[in-house]
Amino acid sequence: MALMASSRHEVGAKSFPLVVYIVVPLLALGLQSLLSLHLNQFDLIDLPLLVTIYYAITQREPVSATLAGAVIGIAQDGLTHHALGIFGISKALIGYMAASLGVRVDAENHGARMLLTFGFTLAQTVILWLLQRHMLGQPYAWHGVHELIRAVVNALVGVILFALLDLTRRTEY
Amino acid sequence: MESFFTRYRNALVLIAVLLAQVIGLAVQVRRPEANAPDKGGVRLIRSWVVNSVTPPEMLFHWIGKSIRGVWSNYIDLIHVRKQDRDLKAELDRLRLEEDSLAEDARQGQRLQTLLGFKEKYIYKTVAAQVIGTSGTEQSHVLLIDKGAQDGLKPDMPVITPDGIVGKTRDVFRHTSQVLEISDVTSGAGVILEKTRIRGVLRGDTWGQPEIVNVSPDERIQKGESVLTSGGDAIYPRGLAVGMVERVIPQPEGTLVNVLIKPAANLARLEEVLVITDTGNEIPAEMAQDLTDAQQKASDVLAERLPSRTDPNAPADEQPDAPTPGSDANVTPPVKPPQPLHPDHYTPSDTPPASELVPGQRITNAESAAASDQNNSPAAPDATTPARHTAETQARPSTAPPKPKTKPAASPAASGHPAPAKQTQPETKPAAPADGTQATPPPATQPQGGA
């Protein structure tokens, strides 16, 4: 199977300069907040989620991916009026799952990245729905077609964004 | 034991992280006021995030504003003169409208005072730039560049000139979060302008405001204006909210929801006003505006009305023209028509049938005689004044009529020759019924005095 990792070279972990770990999530949060103000449909895209997925599938370390997802998610919660932890829990779970899958899947393949992003976007929607609707008892907008469109858009944007982020990393053998 | 932690390290870390966040969520949700601003550690974390994200946003916003400012202030000035003329014309029109509404406003204020109704007037607002959003569809929150340092506090109404936007939620030192009316957790007391139906406004799951749990009413029509009712103690009464878009029956129950198209363009907000101070008394500035508007409206009207004299126009040779000393701008008051018959039912006034003329409406002899006089060619008009005077003179018991015109406008006082129908009978005072000497006629002679 072409999407599965077939050699040690393919599963070699990638690392990033420390500044990238700090600046990229902040940039993702800032752009998400700023562009949603000027582009009506930009809130379909979830840049913090894409960054979480990217770090997870390239690092392939579930613990760090879980922590990174939790921190990015809580920061995203900070921009909303929701209780802190809704995005934190969902992104921690997504980070863990993406890192676990990243070991088994060829994360350098654009098709695999697209499929992973598509699936994790839908997974995050399900987690958010469970948390808000059934755990917190708050209303949550669930519109099937809309969520599918969101997943497709994130998958397409993710491919481009991952290619850009690839430029910042250094390979470790 | 060590091998257990080593083996399940990843899963254990995940569980620990999730558990910590679930506990944190439970603590936050457990607060009595779910929509109240955060306190303690939650507020601290939110403050860190907002303060980390907003400086670059402010920078981007400043750059964009500068570019737009250069364009609009130095380059795009082609239609400024035409706009200036249009705006001046609109200003005149609005002054007239404001003048007509000012009296209604004062009357409304007096009535509200009588009823003990506490109206909220907007005393002070703070203009703020919208620099960001929450970035998600699940949270309709804006970030503005004004905070506690500018006098903002939680739960202050945020508006635009078009309509309400929302209310402040978390207020930080230099920035604030604004919860839009389109959010599911928002709430505002509103009233339909025509049908006066009250309700609570909140956002639906698509982010469109709606009035929830309204009793079905056929009078609710598309396009009806929705205003704030003031019942929520946050938004002042009477602010524009939007217009009715359509009525949606609820799936369960017999109530309906009314979808609202917001008056403010919530999807494209750049500047908003935060109402920081309200009060029950009409602000001095507004009162001064009303007075100024009344004076300016009089000026506008005076310029437009044809009664204003033109100093360069030729002199009017008509005999009823105003005297040079009189005020040319004063329009004489409209005189009420004289009664045709002062009294048709007084006994012994009915003439015999042999003296009646077919088609003649006058019913007594004196009146008929007066009518004959008025029908002569010397009389310019065979109508009521002379006839009325003859009747009143013939009946001493008739109550004296009041003067018809103002003294200054009297032809006798002005020195101009008056029409015959006014001078002959009306300027002659009748003898009193008791036979005493009538007082000499004053400068303002009553018409048809008895």
Q: Do A76 and B136 touch (CB under 8 A)?
A: yes
pLDDT band, residue B383 (cuts 50/70/90)? very low
Is A136 within 8 Å of B169 when comparing Cβ atoms? no
- CATH class name, domain B74-78+120-279: mainly beta
Compare CB distances from B132 to A37, A83, A93 and report the shortest one's residue. A37
Give the one of A46, A84, A139 whose C-beta lies nearest to B205's C-beta. Answer: A139
Asked whether the beta carbons of residue A37 and residue B49 sit closer than 8 angstroms, the reply is no
Q: Is B177 on the interface with A (CB under 8 A)?
A: yes
Through-space distance between the first and last CA atoms of chain B, rounded to whole angstroms: 126
* ipTM for this model: 0.85
What whole-number distance in Å separates Cα of residue A111 and Cα of residue A108? 9
Say what the alpha-carbon torsion angle A85, A89, A91, A96 is, to the nearest 10 degrees.
150
Domain ranges of chain B: 74-78+120-279, 338-392
Q: How far is B2 from chain A (nearest CA, A)?
A: 17
Contact: B45, A36; criterion CB under 8 Å: no
Domain boundaries, chain A: 16-171
Among A30, A80, A84, whose Cβ lies nearest the Cβ of B139?
Answer: A80
Contact B53 A26 (CB under 8 A): yes
Query: Which residues of chain A neighbour B186 with C-beta distances below 8 Å?
Result: none
* Average pLDDT over every residue of B119-123: 71
Q: What is the predicted pLDDT for the residue at B71? A: 80
Give contacts of A23 with chain B, Cβ < 8 Å. Answer: none
pLDDT at B414: 40
Interface touch B13/A67, C-beta < 8 Å: yes
Residue A82 sits at the chain B interface (C-beta within 8 Å): yes
**Cβ within 8 Å of A, B 2-21:** 9-10, 13-14, 17-18, 21
B50 touches chain A (CB under 8 A): yes
Give the CA-trace dihedral at B436, B441, B442, B444, to 10 degrees: 130
Query: Among the listed ranges A74-83, B360-369, B375-384, which one has the minimum average pLDDT value?
Result: B375-384
Cβ separation A63–B13 shorter than 8 A: yes
Q: Within a 10 A sphere around the Cβ of A52, how many other Cβ atoms? A: 32
Interchain pair A80, B267: CB under 8 A: no
**Long-range own/partner contacts, residues B416-419 (CB < 8 A, 24 or more apart):** B416/B319, B416/B320, B416/B323, B417/B319, B419/B380
Judged against a pLDDT cut of 80, whether residue B15 lies above it is answered with yes
Task: Please name the fold of domain A16-171.
Answer: Arp2/3 complex 21 kDa subunit ARPC3 (1.10.1760)
Q: How confident is the model at residue B64 (pLDDT cuts 50, 70, 90)?
A: confident
Q: Which residues of B touch A86 (CB under 8 A)?
A: 25
Backbone dihedral region of B198: left (phi > 0), alpha (psi from -120 to 50 degrees) or beta?
beta
What does the pLDDT look like over A103-159, one tens digit per residue? 888 888 899 999 999 999 999 999 999 998 888 888 787 788 999 999 999 999 999
With CB atoms and an 8 Å threshold, state whether B14 touches A26. no
The predicted-structure confidence for B150-203, as pLDDT tens digits, reads as follows: 999 999 999 998 999 999 999 998 999 999 999 988 889 999 988 889 999 999
Half-sphere CA count of A117, side-chain side, radius 13 A: 31
A34/B60 CB distance under 8 A: yes
pTM of the entire structure? 0.65
- Chain A residues with CB inside 8 Å of B14's CB? 62, 66, 92-93, 96
Model pLDDT, residue A98: 94
In angstroms and rounded to an integer, the radius of gyration of the C-alpha atoms of chain A is 16
Amino acid B147 reads G
